[in-house]
Amino acid sequence: MLQLNSIDIKKQRKFVLVWGITFLIVFPLLITLGLLMRLNQGEEIQLGMDRFYTLMTLHGLGMAGVLYSMAFAALWYLIGTRHTKLNLGLGYFVYFVVLLGVIGLAYATLIGKFGAGWYLLYPLPFKGTNWPAWSTGLSIVSLILLGVAWIIGILHVVYALAKEYGGLTNLLGWQYLGKKNVQRELPPIVMITTISLVPGLIAYLAGAVFLFMNLFQHFEPALSFDALLLKNLAFFFGHTLVNITLYCCIGWVYALLPEFTGREWKTNKVLVYSWNATFVFILFAYFHHLYMDFAQPLALQYAGQFASYLSAIPATAITMFGVITQLYHSKIKWGIIPLTFLIGVAGWAIGGFSAVVDSTIAINKVLHNTLWVPAHFHTYMLTGVVLFIFGFLFYLSHTKEEQEKDKTAKIGFWLFVIGAHCFIATFYTGGMNSIPRRYADYKGIPINSTHTTGALLAQIAAICIGLLLIGLFIMYGSIFNKLRKGKNIPMVPSTNT
Ligand code: HEM
């Protein structure tokens, strides 16, 4: 266990609070964009096509970016206060570059009206657009800034950990697979951090290639690239980003849940095999986004099908089993922190299951580009990742006793969870009724029942979003109240380091 003095821990805590507060400001703003989109689809307001796609682009990119950044910052704090020293100067550099990228994106979309969606589907951002070329250029540069910041952050954390634990193979837990006794225990959070961040690095490098190709196209319109190659790069990047955000959060569930159950959660052979398998499969699962691209080689479509199934099983199964063994007869007191973790794991399982359903080729023929797609990723992001992040923020702001007694936080939490699941249910129902995704509204659909069902579901969704926002702000009240009063920082925080 790393020995840091209280001043260093306070500095790390201040750093993660800067991230936390930024997240708490940006998150409801991005939800508001989602609410506006649903109100437009429900024909309650008139945004117009241009504005809708502008908001959709900022919402998609913003949510994915802000959740990954917050998950990374939380891991940074836990790693940097428990397992290896991390350079705070570099941490703040990453923070400011990310902030710059976010401001650039907000300007390009809200002012420049850039509306090509998160994946900038080539050659969409360059051909027949209704926004000026500078906003395409600014979006690309802003995304490059984000990528550079994230790559620097990952390299620093993985390098520091590799130095501490004697190389990358040790971080992956391979020393557990040999016959020799393990000299130094590897905390699961360290292994999962590595297994999240290294594929992340590969994906960000692919994203960088994609973005630079787009930048060259921006400066030299005569260029022409292979659209399928660019789509592969974009989805490899996007799919992996969302997956590793989830895995980063799972890392701190392994580290923090034992503090509430009083049981150790250690690395062993089964854990190493499972997570290492996920490391490989995660890289190939994205092919399931390209089933409808018939020019894609057939072998890759099969690879997508198998990798999607296989990437979902080992890490998920082993984690669910671990959570059950942590909790079963543990006499845990159900404070807000373990509650967020448990319900977050449920969100992960439900969203993961519906993702696997959609990645099944026979089913994808029907559900492709219906609202089922946003349904599945909103499930594991909004009722998985977001809950894990709130669990972490409660951990930062509350003592163990406070989090047990905080009834306000629990009321906010349940309102949020109910609102979020009901909101997502409108997406699932839409998917099952063949309501297409990414439609600004459903007025142009010639089948009357599809039009009216889509609009009605969007209206119901708007009410659910109102409910989840009330829950969210109640949780904010509880967090800020405790932060204002201050709390004793635990110096020896974990049982399994
Ligand atoms: C209460 C919170 C949220 C609301 C109200 C909301 C609402 C929406 C809506 C209405 C759409 C458009 C769906 C369509 O017709 O295709 C959408 C798309 C999307 N949302 Fe959310 N969302 C929320 C949370 C999140 C979260 C937590 C994430 C995290 C990754 C996220 C990421 C996205 C992405 C990536 C898209 C797809 C954009 C695209 O197709 O280009 N959203 N959201």
The verdict on residue 463 lying in a domain is: yes
Tell me the C-alpha distance between 264 and 444, whole Å.
57
Tell me the C-alpha distance between 424 and 174, whole Å.
40
Digit-coded pLDDT (tens) for 109-136: 999 999 999 999 999 899 989 999 999 9
Q: Is the CB of residue 358 less than 8 Å from the CB of residue 364?
A: yes
Count of H-run helices and E-run strands, the chain: 16, 0
Mutate to test the pocket of ligand 1, among 56, 119, 383, 460 (most ligand atoms within 8 A of CB): 56
For ligand 1, whether the C-beta of 190 sits within 6 Å is no
Tell me the C-alpha distance between 41 and 458, whole Å.
6
For ligand 1, the distance from its centroid to the CA atom of residue 266, given in whole angstroms, is 36
pLDDT at 487: 59
The verdict on residue 431 lying in a domain is: yes
The verdict on residue 410 lying in a domain is: yes
What average pLDDT score do residues 355-373 get? Answer: 94
The verdict on residue 495 lying in a domain is: no
- Phi and psi, residue 332, nearest 5°: -65, 145
Q: Is the CB of residue 141 less than 8 Å from the CB of residue 214?
A: no
The verdict on residue 434 lying in a domain is: yes
pLDDT at 496: 40
Q: Would you say residue 489 has pLDDT above 70?
A: no
Tell me the C-alpha distance between 338 and 327, whole Å.
10
Q: For residue 237, name the pLDDT band (cuts at 50, 70, 90).
A: very high
Digit-coded pLDDT (tens) for 425-454: 999 999 999 999 999 999 999 999 999 999
Centroid of chain to Cα 304: 21
The verdict on residue 271 lying in a domain is: yes
| Cβ neighbours, 10 Å, residue 411 | 15
pLDDT at 101: 98
For ligand 1, the distance from its centroid to the CA atom of residue 151, given in whole angstroms, is 25
What average pLDDT score do residues 328-355 get? Answer: 96
For ligand 1, whether the C-beta of 64 sits within 6 Å is yes
Question: Which residue has a Cα nearest atom 32 of ligand 1?
Answer: 60
Nearest Cα residue to 272 out of 194, 385, 158, 184: 194
Tell me the C-alpha distance between 32 and 35, whole Å.
5
| Cβ neighbours, 10 Å, residue 200 | 27
For ligand 1, the distance from its centroid to the CA atom of residue 296, given in whole angstroms, is 27
For ligand 1, whether the C-beta of 442 sits within 6 Å is no
Share of the chain above pLDDT 90, in %: 91
For ligand 1, whether the C-beta of 37 sits within 6 Å is yes
The verdict on residue 12 lying in a domain is: yes
The verdict on residue 325 lying in a domain is: yes
Question: Which residue has a Cα nearest atom 9 of ligand 1?
Answer: 34
Please tell me the least confidently modeled range out of 284-298, 336-350, 378-392. Answer: 284-298
Question: Which residue has a Cα nearest atom 3 of ligand 1?
Answer: 31
Digit-coded pLDDT (tens) for 299-326: 999 999 999 998 878 889 999 999 999 9
- Residue by residue, what is the 3-state secondary structure of 342-391? HHHHHHHHHHHHHHHHHCCHHHHHHHCCECHHHHHHHHHHHHHHHHHHHH
Domains: count for the chain: 1
Helix (H, G, I), strand (E, B) or coil at 495: coil
pLDDT at 488: 56
Digit-coded pLDDT (tens) for 398-419: 999 999 999 999 999 999 999 9
Supply the CATH number for residue 363's domain.
Answer: 1.20.210.10
pLDDT at 6: 86
Nearest Cα residue to 21 out of 110, 81, 95: 95
CA-based angle 376:386:40, to the nearest 5?
60
Q: Is the CB of residue 147 less than 8 Å from the CB of residue 205?
A: no
For ligand 1, whether the C-beta of 34 sits within 6 Å is yes
Q: Would you say residue 7 has pLDDT above 80?
A: yes
Q: Is the CB of residue 424 less than 8 Å from the CB of residue 372?
A: no
What average pLDDT score do residues 257-266 get? Answer: 96
Which atom in ligand 1 lies closest to the alpha carbon of residue 468?
Answer: 1
Exposed, middle or buried: residue 25 (CB in 10 Å: 0-12, 13-18, 19+)?
Answer: exposed
Q: Which residues 6+ apart lie within 8 Å of 195 measured at CB?
A: 172, 247, 275, 276, 278, 279
Which atom in ligand 1 lies closest to the alpha carbon of residue 56?
Answer: 38
Mutate to test the pocket of ligand 1, among 58, 376, 378, 423 (most ligand atoms within 8 A of CB): 378
Structure tokens at 36: 């506006």
For ligand 1, whether the C-beta of 59 sits within 6 Å is yes
Q: For residue 26, name the pLDDT band (cuts at 50, 70, 90).
A: very high
For ligand 1, whether the C-beta of 468 sits within 6 Å is yes
Using CA atoms of 330, 272, 176, 150 in order, give the dihedral in degrees to the nearest 10: -110
Its domain, for residue 22, covers 6-485
For ligand 1, whether the C-beta of 124 sits within 6 Å is no
For ligand 1, the distance from its centroid to the CA atom of residue 263, given in whole angstroms, is 37
Mutate to test the pocket of ligand 1, among 29, 32, 59, 121 (most ligand atoms within 8 A of CB): 59
Structure tokens at 378: 């909103």
pLDDT at 497: 37
What average pLDDT score do residues 64-84 get? Answer: 97
pLDDT at 494: 46
What average pLDDT score do residues 55-77 get? Answer: 98
What average pLDDT score do residues 370-381 get? Answer: 98
What average pLDDT score do residues 386-396 get? Answer: 98
Q: Is the CB of residue 279 less than 8 Å from the CB of residue 196?
A: no
For ligand 1, whether the C-beta of 60 sits within 6 Å is yes
